[in-house]
Amino acid sequence: MTPSDAFSVRVRQCAERIAESHEAALAGLYDLTALRLVRYAVTITRNQHDAEDALQTSLVRVAADPNLLLRTEKPWPYLLRMVRNDSLVILRRKKRVFFVPNLNDLLTHCGVDEQAQEETHRAIWSALRTLPIEQSEVVVLKIWESMTFAQIAEVLELSPATAASRYRYALEKLAIRIRAADAEVSP
Amino acid sequence: MSIDTTRSHEESFDPEFVEIERAILASGQYVHPSDDLRPRTIEAAREVCRDQRMLRSAGVGAIAALVLALLSSPVVERLNHRHSRSLSPTAREIEQQAMELSMRAGIGPEWALSEAFNALRKDQAARFGRRSF
């Protein structure tokens, strides 16, 4: 069982609880998925506020009809797709997407033992924002969601080969940009 | 180059990407949702579900009222019919009464019909008097 499939089992359990106890059980699904969904939505909307709106819209729809997740074989990829669609709707509603070069709109958190890593984290998130959305979302699904290219292809509705090639292009660009950022920090 | 599409993130295309993949993986928790998103989402879900429940119960009420109206309309119609029949006899009933009177009293049918009408008028007048006072 892949990590994505294992996570799907937990998402399904949350959806079952929502079906039994209605919206009162939504907190469980929120706690399980919010961090993952927000960071995925942020790579699409390029803005934390819009990403949170997309997440809220999707989770409210699940609370109103938990069968959306219960009917599907793989609830986690389905929920990711819901958030992706809601993020794209928000993006389309905006006439223009402004590229934000800094991370000021993001709510970041760094543990006490990770202070030394913060520069790297910032460099990575900044570099991710410079990628085209179709490449950055593949990186997020591959690395943070531990999905296979076949699973990513299912979420993004494209071929596994396309997902793989987007990932490769994205990593090549990220490697160049992160090295450049490192060189700036430590000349 | 052939690509194995089932590889997980531990397997990179190129050893040079292993380090970058690890760094990206480590920064996964760097961005997190705002503190008020949780209560906001739960409250929004509560409102939507409440509206949904109200809409559903209103729909059930409307269907119940419609079914009740459909079921009760023949009964009401029958009651109305019975009520109107009890207030004034039909022409056939008056004719029947006239025939009976004619045979019982040995008078002509025209005279019996006139007597039957007189009796009906008296009856109606008595009923009208009872209602008025």
Q: How confident is the model at residue B6 (pLDDT cuts 50, 70, 90)?
A: very low
pLDDT of residue B115: 87
Q: Where are the alpha helices (DSSP H) in chain A?
A: 3-21, 26-45, 48-64, 67-70, 75-93, 118-130, 133-139, 149-156, 160-185
A70 touching B (Cβ < 8 Å) = no
Query: Measured between alpha carbons, how far is A99 from B111 in angstroms, rounded to an integer?
Result: 108
Of residues B73 and A7, more confidence is placed in A7
pLDDT of residue B133: 44
Which of B1, B16, B18, B37 to mutate to test binding with chain A, by most A CBs within 10 Å of its CB?
Answer: B37
Residue pair A29/A11 in contact (Cβ under 8 Å)? The answer is yes
Query: Measured between alpha carbons, how far is B119 from A25 in angstroms, rounded to an integer?
Result: 79
Please write the tens of the pLDDT for every residue from B38-96: 999 999 999 998 888 888 888 888 888 888 888 888 788 777 766 665 667 788 888 88
All residues of chain B having their beta carbon less than 8 Å from the beta carbon of residue A165 are: 3
Query: Measured between alpha carbons, how far is A80 from A4 in angstroms, rounded to an integer?
Result: 11
pLDDT of residue B130: 66
The DSSP 8-state label assigned to residue A132 in this structure reads -
Per mean pLDDT, which range of A121-130, A166-175, B87-96, B107-116 is the poorest? Answer: B87-96
Q: How distant is the Cα of B59 from the closest Cα of chain A, in angstroms?
A: 17
Of residues A33 and B59, more confidence is placed in A33
What does each C-alpha distance from A87 to A36, A58, A105, B17, B100 come to in angstroms? 14, 9, 16, 29, 91
How far does Cα A25 stand from its chain's mean position? 23
pLDDT of residue A182: 72
B1 touching A (Cβ < 8 Å) = no
Rounded to 5 degrees, φ, ψ at B31 are -100, 135
| Contacts of A9 by beta carbon, 8 Å cutoff, 6+ apart | none
Record: contact B49-A23, CB cut-off 8 A? yes
pLDDT of residue A119: 82
pLDDT of residue B44: 94
Residue pair B93/B116 in contact (Cβ under 8 Å)? The answer is no
Question: Tokens 């090295």 label which residue?
Answer: A179
Residue pair A55/A41 in contact (Cβ under 8 Å)? The answer is yes
Q: Which two tokens stand for residue A153?
A: 């292809």
A146 touching B (Cβ < 8 Å) = yes
pLDDT of residue A145: 93
What does each C-alpha distance from B55 to A23, A57, B60 come to in angstroms? 16, 20, 9
Q: Which two tokens stand for residue B45?
A: 């879900």
Per mean pLDDT, which range of A172-186, B56-70, B95-109 is the poorest? Answer: A172-186
B7 touching A (Cβ < 8 Å) = yes
Query: Measured between alpha carbons, how far is A2 from A148 in angstroms, rounded to an integer?
Result: 8
Dihedral angle, C-alpha B103, B108, B111, B115, nearest 10 °: 0
A55 touching B (Cβ < 8 Å) = yes
Rounded to 5 degrees, φ, ψ at A108 are -105, 155
Average pLDDT of A143-172?
94
| Contacts of B87 by beta carbon, 8 Å cutoff, 6+ apart | B127
B28: nearest Cα among A120, A75, A86? A120
